[in-house]
Amino acid sequence: MATVYVSISSDIVHEGILNIIEEASKLGDVFVGVLTDEVVASYKRTPLLDTSTRKAVYANLKNVVKVVEQDTLSYAKVLRELKPDYVVHGDDWREGVQSRVREEVIEILSEWGGELVEIPYTRGISATQLEKDLLVFLGSPEQRRGSLRRLLTLKKPIRIIEASNGLSGLIVENASFTDPETGQVRTYDGMWVSSLCDSTFKGKPDIELVDFTSRVRTIEEIMEVTTKPIILDGDTGGKTEWFSHNVRTLERLGVSAVIIEDKTGLKQNSLFGTEVKQTQDDPHAFAAKIAAGKRAQRTRDFMIFARIESLIAGQSMEDALSRADIYLEEGGADGIMIHSKEKDGSEILEFMRLFREKWPEVPIILVPTSYNQFTEEELADAGANIIIHANHLTRAAYVAMRDVAQKILECHRSLEADDMILPIKEVLTLIPKE
């Protein structure tokens, strides 16, 4: 009996997939290759169902003889192991980024005389559209809250960027880039709700002046139009008693994590470094605050990360590492953010090297604003799990708005600013009506 290989990434079993499996079964025994969670998460949203569940679903479909895991985007490894007589795929991959994968499949099949069979694409069926129809579910507090913790097990690095209102949230939600060489699609995995940016958009200084209720309104505004996980910049966390209550509020909203920094007194932005007085909290008192927050949690999904400011405040590497130990061992923190304003990044790399000797699996978060010469992949190779681009959309928006306002003043009219802004028709259709 001939063997037939069908590779599937979707966890939504729709008419198009069933049709391909049906047609494949006419050629021989059908082997379904299920792309693993790690592979799917590398180029699109995390699957709703994990690998083992998706394997079980496809294993129980009519005409499927066996299910195997495909742990790379390339078919090469699994094809050379199975040596199928046929590979069956829809004919929608002949053009665009998937055409390279198609060419590779044809080349590999030629090694033993295998054949690619393409089934006409089932019109009117789109997994992407079906996924859009699931946005209500994807954006629910329960689904969103646990998505970051799941991503930590599937992907490194996790790519996060700042969002400070509904519009920037939509930009983050929909931004994508297709690598012309590999065809791989890159997107943002989640959003950072920054205290600095939230304050800036409200025209207020970044000194914890914007209260928690106002921060919650910003989060709700973003959540209403997006589905990706949210990490909140929690500043110092405030008083321990307040922090415990705020954790429950954030958890109930569907926020995935909060990061609090080990400083006391009137907030001074970390990027000022030692130019201003940066006072760190007693490490054991700060660990107690984290522990109180962890005890307040109602679910396992929510995470609390400790942000260590030792390298900002001019303290030693030993102090930073000691604090990390205390926050993890005494406080039960879910991970560490290590911060630095130094442009060469050497102390960040040194911290991660030493930290990983004792804590190989604990998540590390970096905000490489001042040392952005490193790629996300380079920082991940050095030990980082989450990379946050913390304020770039706010900074871009300010420049654009300032320049347009200046241009109109210069020219006594707005005509000269037309090429600097969106056409009004695009503005009217920018926000989806449904």
pLDDT of residue 7: 94
Three-state DSSP state, 248: helix
Residue 212 to residue 157: CA distance in whole angstroms = 29
Query: Which H, E and C letters describe 181-237, residue by residue?
Result: CCCCEEECCEEEECHHHHHHHCCCCCCCCCCHHHHHHHHHHHHCCCCCCEEEECCCC
pLDDT of residue 133: 63
Q: At what angle do helices 346-358 and 317-329 cross, to 10 degrees?
A: 40
> Which pTM value belongs to this model?
0.84
Q: Are 14 and 47 in contact (CB under 8 A)?
A: no
**Encoded tokens for 254:** 């569907």
Helix, strand, coil share of the chain (percent; to 5): 45, 15, 40
**Which residues lie across from 178 on neighbouring strands?**
185
Three-state DSSP state, 431: coil
Higher pLDDT, 169 or 185: 169
Q: Are 110 and 87 in contact (CB under 8 A)?
A: no
User: Is the preceding omega at residue 423 within 30 degrees of 0, hence cis?
Assistant: no
Residue 217 to residue 102: CA distance in whole angstroms = 47
- pLDDT one-digit tens code per residue, 383-405: 999 999 999 999 999 999 999 99
Q: Are 173 and 139 in contact (CB under 8 A)?
A: no
pLDDT of residue 34: 95
What residues are labeled active site?
A: 206
Nearest CA to 136 out of 232, 229, 225 is that of 225
Q: Mention every residue, 6+ apart, whose C-beta is less than 8 A from residue 279.
A: 263, 264, 265, 313
Half-sphere exposure of residue 10: CA atoms within 13 angstroms, side-chain side: 15
For residue 388, what is the enclosing H or E element?
strand 386-389
- pLDDT one-digit tens code per residue, 116-165: 999 987 665 555 566 666 666 667 898 899 999 999 999 999 999 999 99
- pLDDT one-digit tens code per residue, 37-78: 888 887 777 887 889 999 999 999 999 999 999 998 889 999
